[in-house]
Amino acid sequence: MKEFSPEQIRNICFIGHGGSGKTTISEYLLYAAGEINRLGSIEEGNTTSDFNPNETERQISISAAPLHIEWKNSKVNFIDTPGYSDFVGQVIAGLHVADTAVEVVKSAEGVEVGTETTWNHAAKNEMPSAIIINKIDNEHSKFEETFEIVKDRLSNDATIISYPVTEGPSFNTIIDVVKMKALSCTNPSDKKIVEMEIPAEEKEKADALHEELVEKIAESDEDLMNKFFEEGTLKEEDLKKGMRAAILNRSLIPVFAVSAKNGIGMQNFMDFTINFLPSPLDRGPADATKLNDNENVKVVCDPTGNPSLLVFKSLSEQHVGELSIFKVYSGALEAGMDMLNTTREKTERLGQLFFLNGKNRKDVSKVTAGDIGAVVKLKDTHTGNTLASKENPIILKQIEFPESVIRGAIKPKSKGDEDKIASGLHTVHEEDPTFSTRFEPELGQTIVTGQGELQLSLAVKLLKDRYNVDVDLVEPRIPYRETIKGVCADAEFKHKKQSGGRGQYGHVHLKLEPVERGSGFEFVNAIVGGVVPGRFIPAVEKGLDEIMAKGILTGSKVIDVKVTLFDGTFHNVDSDEVSFKLAASQAFKKGFLAAKPVILEPIYGIEVKVPEDYMGDVMGDLSSRRGKISGMDAEGPFQIIKAKVPLAELYKYSTHLRSITSGRGVHHREFSHYEEVPKDVEAKIIDEYNKSKEED
């Protein structure tokens, strides 16, 4: 493949609700550009971008797929992203390196949940954007109605570039209101587009839409507005220049009518992409910081500059290999170059470079500024890392992945698979950083977190398929705490053991009392007269530390207790540290049970963002989870419900929230405090703990 300068490159990211047609669009573009010689289909499981076995089996995209074509002396990189919220990290990573977000909307269904959420990610980054209204060939297609909903719910700056002459199964012609031509395609397999004059019955509508477009472009620039008022229209040169500028600053969102399955409108969209959508050069310098002093700097998209790249995706597939997929922000890359991973401060040597189309790799000698490529997996580099020259060590702006909304625990079905499990879960995290894993010593569980149940279940499936490890995904244990509300003035225990030879002897009197929440453990040595020799005092404290870590009621850590050692006895021969450690732990256990013990549970502050229509259902559901509503705020058409909810009631909450809000509710949670468990709940927790001990 020949080299392209930054102004010849277009990086676009297809986003949208699941099933809107992003993968089919990608497939047709590859076919139209001659990258593939036959059209694959999702139903047959043979599309270029959905090559993962889970994708072909489920007929959905799970991973962002970088693709590329050459189109009219330009290179177009496009990223086909998943439409399901479980894989939103893939969307965010794709948008981070793209220069234009292209939202794909179904003509029959219109704006759906995934449409809004992915659009919001693009809008948050102020990305130039376009909208494809797809599936005009659907018998229930309603282009005009969908366009009005797009204007209402996505952007009032949405402006028609092409529209259908007829809709439904007979759809084969669009009107391009920029060229003011009718474009017809009767057979997608021959790629032939027939350009015609606009039919007389469509002329009035096309003229009106063309006028709207010209006015919209003129409104985006004061000089163009003056020209428009003076001349009543804009010259072609001004129109082109103004269109590019308006798209770049998001004052114009072009809208296209297409049927990706039949190839109608797609080549027109690609011509528009080359002519009007921004290049990496148009987007301007990228934000970065210097490695050593954190000074903010701008990185110019210059092929002759110091090389720098950002890894936005890692790929590990058995039939593809391990690859780091990147965007070059400056300079030019060649195999064998030494670069500094400025995120981790490690040196990396670049191996063979590739351009990707799904699992198909094309060897290249060089990847230049503005372009997207891949390199054989780097040993110390992960998704989100920057590689730069040692002469100009910079860290490019990081990808901001969303926080986790669901957690589960991995339970191995057999022992001895810990290393395989750790390796497999690490691979999942590498491929999708929104999935994370950690071992919680307190719970004795490997906890996995992510964006949804499907994402977690696919991680379990990967362990089985690739590592031959069987595990169950179970509810994580709750990190309860135990404390006391009363005082035990004298908790005594004498540890005495005689079995021939030297015996064991330790005897202590303890006082237990509660302290203010958050104070922790306080130990007081009140021994006088040496009734317990000083050399045994540390053993007493160690015995207390160990029993408090293990817990008394539920095996949970004991907190906020003051323990005073005030009396005891010892034996000149038989007393030792072990004896006093055991005596202290048993005395504490007796005293704890006598001092009105209670279980504390973690309470999380939760904010739920929902459309107003669902507010009552969500509030009722939170109340049923022992939640306490603490406030509400309005944010446009949404309501923000604030509540405090026990962690024990939040298992799979994200899934349930999606269910009761038709997928439109999102939530954020963070730890707030510990609170006493109600007595009826406490009894259940203790009962479950005792049962689990019996099973073990």
pLDDT at 606: 94
DSSP letter for each residue of 552-582:
SSSS-EE-SEEEEEEEEE--TTTB-HHHHHH
pLDDT category at 140 given cuts 50, 70, 90 is very high
What's the fold here for domain 600-681?
Alpha-Beta Plaits (3.30.70)
Q: What tokens does 229 get?
A: 């008022």
Residue 510's SS3 state is strand
On whether the CB atoms of residues 253 and 129 are closer than 8 A, the answer is yes
Instruction: Give the start-to-end residue ranges of the domains of the chain.
Output: 8-276, 286-396, 406-474, 482-595, 600-681
pLDDT category at 238 given cuts 50, 70, 90 is confident
- Residue at 238: amino acid letter: D
The CA distance from 506 to 576, in Å, is: 7
CATH placement of domain 8-276: 3.40.50.300
Q: pLDDT tens digits, residue range 520-534?
A: 999 999 999 899 999
Q: pLDDT tens digits, residue range 597-646?
A: 999 999 999 999 998 889 999 999 999 999 999 999 988 778 999 999 99
On whether the CB atoms of residues 339 and 319 are closer than 8 A, the answer is no
pLDDT at 20: 94
Q: pLDDT tens digits, residue range 463-510?
A: 888 888 999 999 999 999 999 999 999 999 999 987 767 789 999 999
For residue 188, is pLDDT > 70? no
Strand partners, 389: none
**Rg of the chain on CA atoms, in Å:** 32
Reference 411, options 479, 475, 476, 471; nearest CA is 471
Q: pLDDT tens digits, residue range 402-423?
A: 888 899 999 998 888 888 899 8
Whether 8-276 shares its CATH topology with 482-595 is answered no
On whether the CB atoms of residues 175 and 198 are closer than 8 A, the answer is yes
Reference 263, options 142, 171, 391; nearest CA is 171
What's the fold here for domain 482-595?
Ribosomal Protein S5; domain 2 (3.30.230)
- Residue at 15: amino acid letter: I
Q: What tokens does 38 get?
A: 């036959």
DSSP letter for each residue of 416-431:
T-HHHHHHHHHHHHHH
The CA distance from 108 to 467, in Å, is: 43
* Alpha-helix runs per DSSP H in 249-283: 266-276
Strand partners, 325: 313, 374
Strand partners, 478: none
Q: Is 109 exposed, middle or buried (0-12, 13-18, 19+ CB in 10 A)?
A: middle
Please state which of the ranges 43-52, 76-85, 295-304, 360-369 shows the lowest mean pLDDT: 43-52
Distance between first and last Cα of the chain: 62
pLDDT at 1: 63
Stretch 549-566: mean pLDDT, rounded? 95
Residue 485's SS3 state is coil
- Residue at 96: amino acid letter: H
User: Half-sphere exposure of residue 633, counting CA atoms within 13 Å on the CB side?
Assistant: 7
The CA distance from 500 to 410, in Å, is: 48
* CATH of 286-396 given 3.20.20.150, 2.40.30.10, 2.10.10.90, 1.10.1040.10: 2.40.30.10
pLDDT at 91: 95
On whether the CB atoms of residues 177 and 206 are closer than 8 A, the answer is yes
Q: How far is CA 687 from the centre of its chain?
A: 37
**Which one has a higher pLDDT value, 655 or 224?**
655
Strand partners, 69: 76
Q: pLDDT tens digits, residue range 622-631?
A: 999 999 999 9
pLDDT at 92: 96
pLDDT at 239: 83
Q: Which residues contact 293 (CB under 8 A, 6 or more apart)?
A: none
H/E run at residue 255: strand 253-257
Q: Does domain 406-474 have CATH number 3.30.70.870?
A: yes
Q: pLDDT tens digits, residue range 253-285?
A: 999 999 999 999 999 999 999 999 999 999 999
pTM of model > 0.85? yes
Q: Which residues contact 371 (CB under 8 A, 6 or more apart)?
A: 4, 9, 75, 77, 327, 328
Reference 117, options 696, 666, 668, 612; nearest CA is 666
